[in-house]
Amino acid sequence: MNEIDQDIKVSKELDRQANDYDKSFTVNTYQRKAQIMVVEQLKIADGMTILDLGCGTGSGTIDIAKNLHDTGKVVGIDVSEKMIDQARGKKDIAKSSNVEFHIGSGHSLEYDDFFNYVICTNAYHHIKSKKRVFANGHIDLMN
């Protein structure tokens, strides 16, 4: 299966799950805890730019935005349009001005800026070409 077919397969399944995703047992017992743990371990400083690859419904992305204190930027990307719709709704509720959510794939990242961090909690296993994805992340390895 090539990268495009993989992204289509994953997006269809996540679109199917999107409305009830945050209510699922797995999300509440494992995935959300993993997001929180990752965010707590990042050395987030005001002004950073962070990419949340496979952001799902955006809970972890919003957590990062709060830690940036309305500075910097967090970009959440997911292949599922319905997951991104959920994430954008959370952004509106949280009134986070430093968050962007986009439908997209790590396989086709195109950013001129670099990211201080690229995180990928609970989605890494869906990425077919891991080396290519992270090479496209423009990671600033000096931080």
Model pLDDT for residues 127-143, shown as the tens digit of each residue: 666 666 666 554 444 33
Q: Does any domain span residue 90?
A: yes
Read off the pLDDT band of 124 (50, 70, 90).
low
pTM attached to this predicted model: 0.81
| Count of structural domains within the chain | 1
- DSSP symbols for the chain: --HHHHHHHHHHHHHHHGGGGGGSHHIIIIIHHHHHHHHHHS---TT-EEEEET-TTSHHHHHHHHHTTT-SEEEEEES-HHHHHHHHHHHHHHT-TTEEEEE--GGG---SS-BSEEE-TTTGGG-S-HHHHHHTT-B-TT-
Structural domain of residue 9, as residue ranges?
3-135
> What does the pLDDT read at residue 7?
76
> What does the pLDDT read at residue 142?
37
CATH of the domain at 30: 3.40.50.150
